[in-house]
Structure 1
Amino acid sequence: MNSLLSLLLAAALPVPAPPPAAALDWFTCGKAMDAQCGYLTVPVDWAHPGGAKIKIAVGKRAAPDQEHKVGTLVFGPGGPWDPGVDRVTNGYHRFSANLLARFDIVSFDPRGSTGSQPVSCDPAQVAAVPNPVLTSQADFDATLAYNRELWAECERRTGDLWNHAGMTSNVRDLDALRAALGERQLTFQGSSYGTLLGEAYAERYPQRVRAIVLESVDDHSSRSTAEFLTAQAWASEDAFDAFVSWCDRTASCALHGRDVPAIWNHLYDSAVAGRPDFTPFDLVAITYKRTKDVDYDLLADYLEAVDGGRPGVRLGSLPVVLPAFCADWSLPARDYREYASLLRQAARVAPDTHFPAQVMALTACLGWEDVTYPQHELHVRTATPLLLLNSRHDSATGWNWARNVERQLGRHGVLVTYEGDGHGSYSISQCMRNLADAYLISRTVPPRGTSCAAGS
């Protein structure tokens, strides 16, 4: 409670200006050979700026007409820990021709990721990796022991960066990047987990915000593990329902004319009963991925094949936990009894899909204690309202999350809805791109309640 109060007070108080940042030294890079790369030097621990340093990898694609550009647009990658540099040095399809013409486009690899001193871990030095979904107190205890042993191994290999990879450090890195680029105010477009960075920046540095787009919106206000999990379960079920509706009206769907939820649940029950070729989590995770990417035909083909007796897909073990996520979310469970209760609550919200794929976050972060950026209601007071973009049906960042963030922002945020399916509406819809581009270029804020039709 005290840490949360301190966070909110810090957001409300004036933030001292940082010392002048050194300009970045750029060098040519990328497949197209018209991009540039550089490194931003920042403290490992921002509380001790004179201590050890880390180099953040940065990429830039310069606007062709430097005299008439609007400024610099910083892209915040998702993930967490998606590589942003690759987005601007090896392919520009993420950005419209309008943005490429009017802005220098800059992105970065967040600390601890690909080009920015990636965290080093060796799970082979630790006991067997636990399953993402726990089924007993023995599983719970084994997962706690595994996580703690793994984290100690990762910290030994990585050093102090392991303890400073969360949002409180990333938001300071972003402001240092803004200063190094010579921008008085930040123009930013964050996607998926990158929206959390945009929210944190607007909260901490409201006067340094020119314009911020949050695409596929993360809601960081969940007051409990149950609230987080049920919100994600709602989004998963909603996206699954959109897939079922598509199959019902699409003759080319492999399951057209059949009871898709019944088939899915038959497969789920067979996995629970011990079918050897896939687990309940495998089925949930594959469904999540296919609905997120709107690969409906591939999902239908897969379900039909597995229902017909072909082997299912095993996803293997979880990747090494990202301290970037565990340090940003407090998602505790005291014991297996509480954990099982959380899954039952999720199943009540999602009677078909049962639980969301994000249950893996509970398992991967089980036992994590040093949450440096706990959940809280947003407190943003920017001169220009933040622009939120979200699909109506998105299994990763549900419309329920976007609506809740708009509520928290009040007059300082406006949500535009893509009345269709999928994760990442800017990439899906020309209508959404046009609205976002107008906002970023001229700060034209759409009327509240604006939406774009599916396919537009």
Structure 2
Amino acid sequence: MNRRTAIAVCLAACLAVSLGGIALASAQAHRLVWKECGDGLRCADLVVPVDWGDPGGPKTSVHVAKLPATGRSTGPLIINLGGPSTSTAMFRPKNAAEAPPEWPILLKQLRSRFDVVAIDPRGMSEPGSSGKRVSCAEPEASIYGLISARAKQDWDAHAAQNAAHQASCRKAAGAAWRGMTAWNVAHDLDALRAALGQDKLVYAGNSYGTVYAQAYLELFPQRVGRMYLDGTADHTQQEFEPWLRNYARTQERHLTRFRDWCARRTDCALHGRDAGKAWDELVARVRRAPLPASAGRTVHEGQLYAGAVKGMNPAYWPRFATAIRKALDGDAAGFLTELAPDQGGSSVSQDSLCNDFMPKLPTYEEFQGIEARLREIAPRFGWIEGRFELGRCWGRSGGASWAPHPLRVKDVPPILFAIGELDNNTNYLGQQHVAEQIPSAQVLWHGDGHAAWAANTCLRRHVLAYLTAGALPARGTRCPAERIQRVGK
């Protein structure tokens, strides 16, 4: 981001603070009307300005859902589970497959103490639909698409598909489109807090839900009660390349972690050999010629890396090891099947993300220089993260924007962060960078990967104690890995 853009962001933030009282008064004029909406839920739509910078302007609605406390309630706990997507949908049993299997256990614990209230980010759910996701007419390009791209014409095709998707999303999202930023969602959170009659916000944000929290901490520090951030996405890196470097370094280190995991596990397909060197050998082969695969197919270098990005997620390590071994034995089909990259979806999720994280994209030529520098610091695997992250937004433009910037937070109560040593989704380096900018932050490290709150019993115990009574774990507390121990079993 150039200096002029940074100044504009600062001015916008300052204006937001000055308008805070007006915006809150507008929000308090609207009361939540709760209705039964199935699955034990009570649903409501909160009417808010399309743009909180213009609180008297056009309105849109934000969908919220509540699961009432099963025990004596200490008040509402507002949650957002990330995506960005419809968090309210995760309360419904039919969507259980999208959540960790331990999610019902966590939800039961939370409901024993709180009325649990989920909020959908603006534009994600259809107004008055009890949380039905907004669907765009045109599919987006796969976020893995630029990894597989071999020529500029592939990049251009990826951009064209994302542009068509964005145009269809603009129609599908309707009035909400102009305000789809975390800055506005943070104001929605405060409006919901006020409508619930909560003096200080008690909030749990997972993954993208932490981006809304970062905005809230800047805008409404005096209204922060307790805030738990799990798998924090770093919205504080002002320049694009340093943000990518943290991803590249994390993925490079993950190759070593994958190697070490495989060495400990007798059921790993590469057990008994150095899994990292096995990967290096496969890369050397594919750079000489495409790898043979069953049914007369081949796997080129981009396809190999695309499958490996998916395989580097700890949950996929067993499949990744098997795919490498079979490819070395002459059949690389696993990178086209078991590790096949996900195709583009039809939601507005990536448009919202790009508005927040990449409102200004590098040119194709500029990115070649960025990629060359990423190869210098992460030559074996991590360098590919540049294409992966850029693939989300390549071809999109002209939406709302809330650009990354250093966090400006002071005078807030203790904020609890959970950071996973195996988190390569919202990389742990970036998470640590956010926490370091909040004087009252306390970090609870754990040995698992992204968003492990539901799966790790140690995390659940400490987080529940913090959210209910403000009790923080002793500094230096670390929760051992639990989820990764079950991978492959």
- Structure 1 residue runs without a partner (length 5+): none
Q: Which residue of 473, 476, 481 corresponds with 1:449?
A: 476
- Who is 2:51 aligned against? 45
Q: Alpha-carbon deviations, 1:188-234, whole Å to 9, x = none?
A: 11011111111111111111111000001111122322112111112
- Structure 2 residue runs without a partner (length 5+): 1-5, 97-102, 292-296, 484-489
In structure 2, do the counterparts of structure 1 residues 398 and 342 end up closer, same or farther at CA, with 3 Å as the change threshold? same
Percentage identity across paired residues of the two chains: 29
- Report the alpha carbon displacement of residue 99 of structure 1 after superposing the two structures with TM: 2.1
In structure 2, do the counterparts of structure 1 residues 214 and 157 end up closer, same or farther at CA, with 3 Å as the change threshold? closer
- Report the alpha carbon displacement of residue 102 of structure 1 after superposing the two structures with TM: 0.7
Is the partner of 1:187 in helix, strand or coil?
strand
Is the partner of 2:82 in helix, strand or coil?
coil
Q: Does 1:394 align with 2:423?
A: yes
User: Contact 1:388–1:414 at 8 Å: present in 2 too?
Assistant: yes
Supply the distance in 1 between the matched residues of 2:299 and 2:193 (Cα, whole angstroms). Answer: 46
Equivalenced residue count is 448
**Deviates further, 89-98 or 40-49:** 89-98
Supply the distance in 1 between the matched residues of 2:298 and 2:438 (Cα, whole angstroms). Answer: 46
In structure 2, do the counterparts of structure 1 residues 160 and 439 end up closer, same or farther at CA, with 3 Å as the change threshold? same
- Who is 1:22 aligned against? 30
Q: Alpha-carbon deviations, 1:157-189, whole Å to 9, x = none?
A: 544433321212211221122122221221111
- Who is 1:359 aligned against? 387
- Report the alpha carbon displacement of residue 440 of structure 1 after superposing the two structures with TM: 0.5
Question: Matches of residues 7-156 of structure 1 in structure 2 within 5 Å?
Answer: 7-10=12-15, 15-16=20-21, 17-19=24-26, 20-30=28-38, 33-65=39-71, 68-81=72-85, 83-90=86-93, 93=104, 95=106, 97-115=108-126, 118-123=133-138, 131-133=145-147, 134-156=149-171
Supply the distance in 1 between the matched residues of 2:41 and 2:386 (Cα, whole angstroms). Answer: 35
User: Contact 1:238–1:393 at 8 Å: present in 2 too?
Assistant: no
- Who is 2:324 aligned against? 303
User: Contact 1:292–1:423 at 8 Å: present in 2 too?
Assistant: no
In structure 2, do the counterparts of structure 1 residues 5 and 22 end up closer, same or farther at CA, with 3 Å as the change threshold? closer
**Deviates further, 38-47 or 8-17:** 8-17
In structure 2, do the counterparts of structure 1 residues 88 and 119 end up closer, same or farther at CA, with 3 Å as the change threshold? closer
Q: Alpha-carbon deviations, 1:219-254, whole Å to 9, x = none?
A: 112232211211111222223322211101111111
User: Contact 2:146–2:155 at 8 Å: present in 1 too?
Assistant: no
Give the structure-2-normalised TM-score.
0.81
In structure 2, do the counterparts of structure 1 residues 61 and 317 end up closer, same or farther at CA, with 3 Å as the change threshold? closer
In structure 2, do the counterparts of structure 1 residues 360 and 159 end up closer, same or farther at CA, with 3 Å as the change threshold? farther
Q: Which residue of 204, 229, 232 corresponds with 1:214?
A: 229
Supply the distance in 2 between the matched residues of 1:84 and 1:406 (Cα, whole angstroms). Answer: 24
Supply the distance in 1 between the matched residues of 2:473 and 2:77 (Cα, whole angstroms). Answer: 20
- Report the alpha carbon displacement of residue 288 of structure 1 after superposing the two structures with TM: 3.9
Paired letter, 1:372: S
**Deviates further, 277-286 or 388-397:** 277-286
Give the structure-1-normalised TM-score.
0.87
- Who is 1:184 aligned against? 199
User: Contact 1:132–1:360 at 8 Å: present in 2 too?
Assistant: yes
Supply the distance in 1 between the matched residues of 2:105 and 2:372 (Cα, whole angstroms). Answer: 39
- Who is 2:436 aligned against? 407
In structure 2, do the counterparts of structure 1 residues 375 and 281 end up closer, same or farther at CA, with 3 Å as the change threshold? farther
Paired letter, 2:344: L
Q: Does 1:423 align with 2:450?
A: yes
